[in-house]
Structure 1
Amino acid sequence: MRVVREISKEGIRISLFDWNNKYLLKFDSGMVEQTFKVPAMDVLDEKDLDQLLEGSFFDKVKERFDEMRQSLHIAMENI
């Protein structure tokens, strides 16, 4: 697995990996993370993946993090 790039945006650590003819786009925020796999054949240039770091896709990632944190908090209260 090759690390292509790591950045931080709005408190979210974003890592891009190249692995087995796929790009793995990993978003990490505190105790939760999201990983998306994109076939390398669908990407002409690695910079094309930058579109996933903004706009509605990134907004949905942030919303999902809020939902994940809330779910984890509720689950931990029941332990």
Structure 2
Amino acid sequence: MRYIKDIPNPRYKIGLYQWNSKYIIKIESGMYEQTYKIDDYEVTSTDELEACMDDAFTKAIADRFDAMHDDFNGTLQRHNVLF
């Protein structure tokens, strides 16, 4: 996987990579991450992908991270890993 660049964001670490004829957008928040892939022929430049990191998308990312956290904590509590 080849690192291309970081996409600036005040809340998340967003990295852009290229691998196997796809762009990979990796968004990290603490111990969780989300990954999105798109075929490289679908875009003309990485700037298009950077522009996609708008407020509506980052709001959806935040909601998904919250759900991931709730899911993980729920299973840890059900199995007495966390009290």
Give the TM-score normalised by the residue count of structure 1. Answer: 0.89
Runs of 4+ in structure 1 off by over 4 angstroms are none
Which structure has the larger Rg?
Answer: 2
Instruction: After superposing the two structures, state which structure 1 stretch, 63-72 or 7-16, moved more.
Output: 7-16
Query: What is the Cα-based RMSD across aligned positions, in Å?
Result: 1.3
Query: For the Cα contact (< 8 Å) 2:7–2:50, is it kept in 1?
Result: no
Q: How does 1:7-18 map to 2 (within 5 A)?
A: 7=7, 9-18=9-18
User: Which 5+ residue runs of structure 2 have no aligned equivalent?
Assistant: none
Gaps of 5+ in 1: none
Using structure 2 for the length normalisation, give the TM-score: 0.85
**Amino-acid identity (%):** 30
**Amino acid aligned to 2:64:** R
Counting matched residue pairs gives 79
* Paired residues for 1:65-76 under 5 Å: 65-76=65-76
The structure in which a higher percent of residues are strand is: 1
